[in-house]
Chain A
Amino acid sequence: MKTETRPEHFEPPSIIGTILRKLHIDIPLFIGLLLTSLLSFLILYSAGSQDMDILVRQGARVGLAFFLMTVLAHVNPYQFKRYSALLFGLGIFLLVAVLIMGQIGKGAQRWLELGLFRFQPSEMIKITTPMMIAWFLAEHPLPPKFKQLAVATLLILIPTLLIAIQPDLGTALLVASSGAGVLFFAGLSWRFMFAIVATLAALTPILWHFMRGYQRDRVLTFLNPEADPLGRGYHIIQSKIAIGSGGIYGKGWLGSTQSELDFLPESSTDFIFAVFAEEFGLFGCVGLLVLYLLIIARCLYIASQAQETYSRLLASSLAFTFFVYVFVNIGMVIGVLPVVGVPLPLISYGGTSIVTLLAGFGILMSIHTHKKRFSR
């Protein structure tokens, strides 16, 4: 069978379009990401007490992240597949290294010092875990058999537990869901999924036993925030006040009073959605959710158009994890989920999460722009 590569769409040649295609950029996805990032600067400026320094720093990170996305979009998906196991192994090795170094340094440690910047292996594992599971499952016919499921579950549990004991519950959750996402898209039977959910529910008391004091506090506070208004409950109460006072139309850009007054802690990082909701109201919130949904929908479309099992599984899992990110963060800020340290994707202040996220989108673009056309 002879194959040749051709651009997928035959659009009228425009300069920008040509450049973006040459760069292996998927235009709809790119526009969605760009819009969200620009929105992020708008909110950060307000949430960060109008400090330009914050914007400059975040700008540098976003720039780096977009650059990395472009680089990864260039790589042929075949290469991702080929190095999946190797990268996964490297990630696990680094996680263990960080853990041991943390033991020696007597304290929680999550990163390796690389001179110019800090590298968090747990970020890398967010992408390499679905790569590994996708690679493993793609080797066999789908839906996966019990034996493959068992191995895949083990492969997901290793990095999840290594991160959970750092302790970083939020990231552990994201890694687990990225792996579980692959299993879902690979056709894990519904009956099996219910069984797992039931088992997890049964395991909850055991999980409780192993939680650290502050993690238990967070869950308890989630159940009854008013019990500790000065401490753990403070976040949730203040966050609800901020969101609720925003109303339908919001108080307008820079109109947030709660973050300005320092009522709202972590207003630039994990709780930035509260500032957004206060300033832009219900309309803004729904708008932001729609923007997220459009990005996710495009990602799922890319997954559905992918030709190889590996690419499909990886693409769909990355899309699904992105949603988990959004859901867990917003759910926490509006008080329907317990507080776990997960930032609002593409919007919260901080470098590590945005770099990983855009790396994932880079892979998605690579999958979409490297498709082969079979000649008849």
Chain B
Amino acid sequence: MSRIYAVKDNTVENRLFTNRIIASFVVIILLTSSLVVRLVYLQIVGHEHYASMAKSNSVKIIPLVPTRGIIYDRQGKILAENTPSYSLELIPEQISNIDDTLLKLQQLLAIPDEKIELYQKQRKRQKRFTSTPLLLNMNDEELAKFAVVRPYFPGVDIHTQLVRHYPYGDLAAHVVGYVGRINETEIKELPVSEYRGTTHIGKLGIESSYESELHGKTGYAEIETNVQARSLNTLNETAPDPGANLYLTLDIDLQKTAYDALENYNGAVVAIEIKTGGVLVFASRPGFDPNPFVVGISNDAYQALQMSENQPLYNRALRGLYPPGSTIKPFIALAGLEYDAISAQQKLFCPGYYQLPGVSHKYRDWRKGGHGSVNLNEAITQSCDVYFYRLAGTLGIDHIHDFLQKFGFGEKSGIDLVGEKPGLLPSREWKREQKNRAWYPGETLITGIGQGYHQVTPLQLARATAILANKGNIVTPFLVDKIVGAHDTKPGPEIHKGVIALKSQNIDDVIAAMINVVHSERGTAKSIGRNINYQIAGKTGTAQVFNIKQNAKYNENDIDFKLRDHALFIAFAPADDPQIAVAVIAENGGHGGSVAAPIAGQVIKQFLKGHQQAQP
């Protein structure tokens, strides 16, 4: 080893080390002296200046917190507001016998002992003239009881504070989001001057995406205080700019219809106004009540929400990933026509299954006996799987991937909400990168009927439907229509526009088939086509559930339910002049036609009724 060569010279080392110890001490003394010089400068030279700043003319700068903007739906109904919350506060200086007063208040308002103790603790930390809360969030009864005896309690008063409130509770919790107390990590990232005095910040949904607009601009007042910090006099005041009010494209009544129509199913409904891209419905069920989050949700309640098997905190419309099932068929059909892989009239025979040449595996149709000979229109109307296996096989995965990508599959829609999932649009490259495997022909076939790797969010599905209805004109969904600030009104987010080049005959053929889905005798969603004076174009879908939770409790009915397929439905209406596009996913709903389609039907019906009234 190097030890042989590395003979240590102890004398040299010792001298070196001693020198360094001395040098370091000299440096330390010098640096310390520099601190002392600075202290002398501050405490002797600057003393008078700083003392005068500290003493008689103590000017305290206090932040004036702006009122948070209100969030409205498209009808002007309030989705998020600031409601007063009342607290009972005591100013010790003005109360002659504080223990006696507390005792009387305790008897009057039935205050638990812990709150009295907590108050006593807080009081000791405060100045005697500081108002300290005893009771928070007083209810009407408590308010009334105290109001009667108030003259007998000098120094005790009711204080009002604004608290964020969401009148629709769970209905729009995922879209509107909620505010909560600013936490330690957020403090670091926030602009300090803007958030002095602000206690809450948007944590989810619109509340979070539009935090800076909703928050407003903090003002401040310069207040003269005496040595004990008692406020004497306001010298100067810069008023805060209240937060901007947001007007959403969301229609809360329509949202309620969709949410209620999902009933006991977990799932999501997204509806988009095709001409603008404004989101009309953005429902995710089950929802949760956002109001407890504002005041601070208890740990138990939060755990219960987190652990719930139905995952109420999960925004299914934005982040839920589902196989598109047969709802992908209109898009595959259009791809087939555009790439000349098939003509609209060409018939393919469906014996109930399809086999790749030289492979024994049978790709089955949902109908055991098959559909016989079907053309494109019939294949979509009856949702024939074999037709689409064959079409997908002819198209190949590369064409399928490229075509579906244009409709926004596999990428974020760009909606003005944080946390959107891009979904997954499989391709050869993707599989090689992620799975390190080659793409198999069989995988192309099942992609043709919306199974396999392809995963979509309900929002993506609604958007793709809107683009189809819009004849290839790109629709970008958004939620905020206008931002009405203190000084100006701004429009919502900038919308990406574009056009997918499509032959209009091809679109017409596909749309005609989608109309037949709802309005023909053999259509899979014919139940919703009756008794309406307009036409709906739609497509049903059923997505296989391949994940069964291992730790689910054994309960025969329950397990059967969880094994049931997801029901999907996409639609737009009126077919001749499309106004609204809808996507519905009902988890474990079974068949798209019987469960998902009626939900979309209700939403469309209600929207068009209102729409026609608005445009006579």
Interface residues of A (CB under 8 A from B): 49, 51, 107-108, 140-143, 184-185, 187, 213-214, 217, 228-232, 234, 240-248, 257-258, 260-263, 277, 281-282, 285-286, 289, 292-293, 296-297, 300, 303-304, 309, 312, 316, 320, 323, 327, 330-331, 334-336
Q: Are A141 and B13 in contact (CB under 8 A)?
A: yes
Q: In whole angstroms, how far apart are the Cα atoms of A229 and B60 in the complex? A: 11
Known: A142-B13, A261-B58, A300-B24. A336 touches B46 (CB 8 A): no
When the two chains form their complex, are residues A293 and B28 in contact, meaning their CB atoms are under 8 A apart? Answer: yes
Contacts A240-B42, A286-B39, A334-B35 given; does A245 touch B185 at CB 8 Å: no
Contacts of A51 in B (CB 8 A): 124-125
Shortest Cβ distance from residue B184 to the other chain A in the assembled complex, whole angstroms: 9
Residue of B nearest to A229 (CB): B61
Q: Is B433 an interface residue (CB 8 A)?
A: no
Chain A residue numbers with a CB within 8 Å of B196 are 230-231
Instruction: Give bound CA distance, A158 to B179, whole Å.
Output: 39
Q: Nearest residue in A to B63 (C-beta to C-beta)?
A: A230
- Whether A261 lies near B50 (C-beta < 8 A) is no
- Contact sample, A vs B, 16 pairs, CB 8 Å cutoff: A141-B9, A185-B17, A214-B189, A229-B61, A230-B196, A232-B192, A244-B46, A245-B54, A258-B54, A261-B60, A286-B39, A293-B28, A316-B24, A323-B28, A334-B38, A336-B34
A13 to chain B, nearest CB (A): 32
Residue of B nearest to A320 (CB): B24
In the complex formed, the residue of A with least CB distance to B121 is A53
B44 interface residue (CB < 8 Å to A): yes
Partner of A248 from B44, B58, B124, B229 at Cβ < 8 Å: B44
A241 to B185 Cα, complex, angstroms: 29
Given contacts A285-B39, A285-B43, A293-B32, contact A241 B50 (CB under 8 A): yes
- B25 interface residue (CB < 8 Å to A): yes
Chain A residues, Cβ within 8 Å of B42: 240, 243-244, 277, 334
Closest CB in chain A relative to B267 CB, distance in Å: 27
Interface bits B177-202 vs A (CB < 8 Å: 1, else 0): 00000000100110111101000000
Contact assessment for B44 and A312 in the assembled complex, using a CB-CB cutoff below 8 Å: no
Contact of A289 with B36 in the complex, beta carbons under 8 Å: yes
Closest to B7 in A: A141
Contact of A49 with B46 at beta-carbon distance under 8 Å, contacts A230-B63, A231-B196, A327-B31 already known: no
| CB atoms of B40 and A282 under 8 A apart | yes
Tell me the count of chain B residues lying within 8 A, CB to CB, of chain A. 54
B→A interface (CB under 8 Å): 2, 6-9, 12-13, 16-18, 20-21, 24-25, 28-29, 31-32, 34-36, 38-40, 42-44, 46-47, 49-51, 53-55, 58, 60-61, 63, 124-125, 185, 188-189, 191-194, 196, 218, 220, 225, 227, 229
Q: How far is B63's CA from A296's CA once the two chains are assembled, in angstroms? A: 44
On whether the beta carbons of B47 and A185 are closer than 8 Å, the reply is no
The answer to whether B20 touches A231 (Cβ under 8 A) is no
Which of A232, A242, A282 is B39 in contact with, Cβ under 8 Å? Answer: A282
Residues of chain B within 8 A of A297, CB atoms compared: 25
The residue that B21 contacts in the complex, of A228, A243, A303, A335, with Cβ under 8 A, is: A303
For A244, give its contact among B6, B50, B220, B227 (CB under 8 Å). Answer: B50
The residue from B25, B44, B58 contacting A282, defined by CB atoms under 8 A apart: B44
Closest to B34 in A: A336
Q: How far is the CB of B79 from chain A (nearest CB, A)?
A: 27
A322 to B124, CA, bound (A): 36
Partner of A230, one of B44, B61, B229: B61
**Additional pairs, 4, CB under 8 Å, beyond known A141-B8, A245-B51:** A141-B13, A228-B192, A247-B47, A281-B43
Residues of B within 8 A of A228 (CB): 192-193
Are the CB atoms of A247 and B21 closer together than 8 Å?
A: no
A244-B36 contact in complex given A140-B2, A230-B220, A231-B192, C-beta closer than 8 Å: no
The minimal Cβ–Cβ distance linking B17 to chain A, given in whole angstroms, is 6
The 10 closest A-B pairs by CB, nearest first: A244-B50, A231-B193, A245-B54, A231-B192, A230-B193, A261-B229, A245-B51, A282-B43, A244-B42, A187-B16
Closest residue of chain A to B1 (Cβ to Cβ) is A139
What is the minimal beta-carbon distance from B24 to any residue of chain A, in angstroms? 6
A323 to B30: give the CA distance in the assembly, Å: 12
Name B55's closest neighbour in chain A (CB-CB): A245
Are A261 and B225 interface neighbours, CB within 8 A? yes
Q: How far is the CB of A7 from chain B (nearest CB, A)?
A: 24
A245 touches B53 (CB 8 A): yes
Contact of A184 among B2, B24, B220 (CB under 8 A): B24
CB distance from A236 to the nearest CB of B (A): 12
B-side contacts of A293, CB under 8 Å: 28-29, 32
A52 shortest CB reach to chain B, Å = 9
B34 & A142 in contact (Cβ 8 Å cutoff): no
Tell me whether B6 and A141 are in contact (CB under 8 A).
yes
